[in-house]
Chain A
Amino acid sequence: MTDQQHTRNFAIIAHIDHGKSTLADRMIQLCEGVSERDMREQFLDNMDLERERGITIKAQTVRLTYRARDGQAYTFNVIDTPGHVDFSYEVSRSLKACEGCILLVDASQGVEAQTLANVYLALDHDLEIIPVLNKVDLPAADPERVMQEIEDVIGLDATDALLISAKTGQGVEDVTESIVQRIPPPAGDPQAPLKALLVDSWYDQYMGVIVLTRVMEGRVKPGTQIRMLGTRALHDVNEVGTFQPARTKGEVLGPGDLGYIISGIKDIDEAQVGDTITDEKNPCAKPLEGYKPSVPVVFCGLFPASTEDYEQLRDALGKLRLNDSSFQFEPENSPALGFGFRCGFLGLLHLEIVQERLEREYDLDLITTAPSVIYRVMKTNGEMVELHNPTDMPDRMHIEAIEEPWIRATILVPDTYLGNVLKLCEDRRGIQQDLTYAGDRAMVVYQLPLNEVVYDFYDRLKSITSGYASFDYQMEGYHEGDLVKLDILVNQERVDALALIVHRSQAEGRGRAVCEKLKELIPRQLFKVAIQAAIGGKVVARETVPAVRKDVTAKCYGGDVTRKRKLLEKQKEGKKKMRQFGKVEIPQSAFLAALKMDDQ
């Protein structure tokens, strides 16, 4: 248990690429804790994927000892929070574990939508915010303008903002000094009943589930019988400790401490982010506010490219789930793609991350179907069905109405691109809520149907604004819409994986786009391939892939046959990724690429 007066718990809020991990690295170097050998670039992001993408997926913490200019040693608990909209709930829980935060803004790029959302979260939690402008050494840096922006857009006093370069180390010590001076020490009575926030949890194959916690009141130590107030799970604590940054065993965690608890939990569902941990023998009266189990909003099918990988995929999903309770899956059988799983995610990035991890860490080749949202189908018999998969759409005769989820989207963009952004939002059935300017940047707020957003909205937004737009959203509610199911047929057979639920006004255009794209993607075959898009029985678009004209090897003699055979065997391997439609075999890559198509 550490001395509360000499403890500072804080997070770093930053948009992707604004230098959060670099700043964390500099602070680690400035403090005592990590030897040179352990000092890797961006220490905190310890998953390969995170390091490559430069984003944080799971909350990470590190405990540092900082010797301040006043000569005293302070314990810093740095919480590295996820920086993406999909994980905003986790950000919110991470911030709850802090007394303050650093708002890190790129001195040339300025405030971005994600920064905005997280700062509002920090303000909601009454955190002390220290604005820091990073990358001031770059020629494009314009601290004056960005400070003005912080005041205009966020409404935060930026006069005391620190100007630093995390890359060169310039000004980093001013940051650590400000942390000591400006962020309050944690409060909390060590004698009170245990009340601790579950900040994060993950599965370790040797230790079981490791819980990252922030103790608010009371104490926890080995032998304490802990109760999760949300999930009601009950466990005996085996070990407590902190990350310095290596996991280091301790004796007890008390108020203000950020540390871990190992208590033989096997199922990650019992350790939900945001839950309150208390002492079963001496429980706290009330749980911490705002706990909610994480709910997936985006769904898609994941299928093994080769059918024999099904079991392996199931195992891999199970293992990923050990570490990620926000991700859901259940078996699904698709006529086009075979046996696979219907999976639920917090958002598109979450989906992509899971998909990439499955492919990278478990060496699986996957087919991912078009992302879909949850529709509410009101049936004529009064029943309401939640639709996670377009193929489950009831017959039109039985549908009274369909409701779809809407979001409230905030987009920040240089005003030169504003026209493009407004057009995109209007094209996607958006309803403008607000439009304000801060200097030469505009902030626009739209209500948008989520199904228009899961369909490549983010990619389009980036491309029409040369990457300058930033985007954030929150779920808003369900509204009725004129929605239809669009089927794609290859050689008269439905490709269930490509079925989409779209607004009637978009159906024909989208159908045409899918057909055209598939025509490009399906390699010419021995037999011609007919591609159609249809609503019910009505074909709204069609294309034909003509048969291959010429494909023959010029030379094949005694010395060539082994090589040709091996080539054939290799192709056969590739054919596992093919699906048969009548006489033709379509590479799954074609479907995949069609699923990723952009709209034009």
Chain B
Amino acid sequence: MTAAPAPAFEAPASEAGSHRAPDPGFGVYVHWPFCLKKCPYCDFNSHVRNAVDHDLWRRSLLAELDHYASETAGRRVSSIFFGGGTPSLMAPATAQALIDRIAERFDLADDAEITLEANPTSVEAEKFARFRQAGVNRVSLGVQALDDRALAFLGRQHSADEALAAVELARKAFPRISFDLITARPGMTPASWAGELARALEEGPEHISIYQLTIEPGTPFHASWRRGELDLPDDETQSAIFEATGQTLAARGLNAYEVSNHAVPGAESRHNLTYWRYGDYLGIGPGAHGRLTLGGVKHATRQHSAPEAWLESVGTHGHATRARDPLAADQKRQEITLMGLRLAEGIHRDAFVRELGAQPEALFEAGRLDALREAGYLTLDAQRLAATAAGRLRLNAVIDHLLG
């Protein structure tokens, strides 16, 4: 069903007892900023354009990659992720060129995970084979719902049947696949969700991401919500859905290795683990963010988000870096906590030492840590600091309390 986990990859669940922190890896993220249509819930950096000059975009992405490669050359790349936007709209040749260039300028691991986000439409499914040829070995499909009315509500351009057909095609084309579903939609009950989830599980996924619908400012849904037109499930229902989802998936061997991500052991997204384990990653393309250790100092990078401005800047300067800020210790403390506590494995003591040169006891106020441990929201043992299931259900409040 799935490709065997690569030996270099340290799985979070199976190695839970390890005394050493897993290597967070080093990933390259490439942002493709275009969509055929904006979905009403989405606040990502995505744009609709009548025509995209694919040659120009390929050359420009390569140029920005080259720019950063000169600073981070020689690093071993454990994963590449094409995100968006809708990167499956990209010409497969662009993906090919980028993967080849990364192999040329960096040390691309033989077992590197190379993921493409894709819409599950028949048009895009036709391109799967060519993306596979380009080197993509994992695809993440935005199925979002298995109910045609819900798909229409979410502004998706595919039906449930078309999405399931695309999942089938993807499974044939790629060694590893994952798909996303959006839960806690208006009108949803724990019962209706259970039915939808069961149908999704018939596909036998080894990795699935389940996101509660979040109303983001600046989206059409936000406007509807403010007008009182969205009847979102209440707190109780959302909690029930969240907990039932975890239990259903766990019973099928899919562990909630992160708040919204479930996988059979070994099928976790390595690229995303790099984020959550607070490793370094390079981000290129419009609006891409990066975390790069340069000269021993971790930096937060951000590229120009508007596609045209990004193109112009890359044309002039060879890159479109808008921000490149060294991170202070307290900022790193916040980030490693924000990201790491999302993982079931939590944050290794070694990771705290690696990033901050200190143990968690020295990084957090004792009173706060103790209160959260006593309440059953956090655990801290000889290896790691981790949120319990109860803690992850309330993670924002836990982190807020912990960081003071």
User: Chain A interface (Cβ within 8 Å of chain B)?
Assistant: 525-527, 548-559, 561-562, 564-565, 568-569, 571-572, 575, 583, 585
Contacts and interface: CB of A to CB of B under 8 A. Distances in A.
B239 A549 contact: yes
Q: Which of A550, A556, A557, A565 has the most CB of B within 10 A?
A: A550
B281 interface: yes
B404 A575 contact: yes
B288 A552 contact: no
A463 B274 CA distance: 59
Nearest to B211: A554
B202 interface: no
Contacts of B392: 552
B395 interface: yes
Contacts of B302: 562
B397 A551 contact: yes
A565 B375 contact: no
Contacts of B275: 556-558, 561
A561 B275 CA distance: 9
B281 A552 contact: no
Contact of A564 (B83, B338, B397, B401): B338
B260 interface: yes
B260 A555 contact: yes
Interface SS of A by simple majority: loop
B398 A526 contact: yes
B283 A553 contact: no
B371 A559 contact: no
A526 B300 contact: no
Contact of B394 (A548, A556, A564): A548
B334 A526 contact: no
A533 to B, nearest CB: 26
B396 interface: yes
A554 B259 CA distance: 7
* A-B CB proximity, top 4 nearest: A550-B239, A554-B211, A552-B395, A558-B275
B212 interface: yes
10 contacts: A526-B375, A526-B397, A526-B401, A527-B371, A553-B396, A556-B275, A562-B302, A565-B338, A572-B404, A583-B375
Contact of B272 (A548, A552, A557, A572): A557
A557 B396 CA distance: 15
B335 interface: yes
A551 B390 CA distance: 11
B300 A562 contact: yes
B316 interface: no
B93 interface: no
A549 B211 contact: no
Interface of B: 27, 29, 45, 83, 211-214, 235-236, 238-239, 242, 259-260, 272, 274-275, 281, 283, 287-291, 300, 302, 331, 334-335, 338-339, 342, 371-372, 375, 377, 392-401, 403-404
A406 B174 CA distance: 85
Contacts of B398: 526
Nearest to A569: B334
Contact of A559 (B274, B289, B375, B394): B289
B53 to A, nearest CB: 24
A565 B242 contact: no
Nearest to A571: B400
Nearest to A552: B395
A553 B43 CA distance: 14
Given A526-B401, A557-B272, A558-B29, A552 B289 contact: no
Contact of B238 (A526, A550, A557): A550
A525 B213 CA distance: 22
A250 B27 CA distance: 79
A561 B287 contact: no
B175 to A, nearest CB: 22
Nearest to B259: A552
Contacts of B335: 561, 565
Given A526-B394, A552-B396, A553-B395, A568 B29 contact: no
Nearest to B287: A559
Contacts of B400: 568, 571
Contacts of B27: 558
B288 A559 contact: yes
Nearest to B330: A569
B339 A561 contact: yes
A394 B260 CA distance: 57
Contacts of A525: 397
Given A555-B260, A559-B289, A561-B289, 15 more contacts: A527-B375, A550-B242, A550-B394, A551-B393, A552-B242, A553-B396, A554-B211, A555-B211, A556-B338, A558-B289, A559-B45, A561-B338, A561-B339, A564-B338, A565-B335
A553 to B, nearest CB: 6
Given A558-B29, A565-B331, A568-B400, A551 B394 contact: yes
A108 to B, nearest CB: 37
A549 B272 CA distance: 27
A548 B372 CA distance: 13
Contacts of A526: 372, 375, 377, 394, 397-398, 401
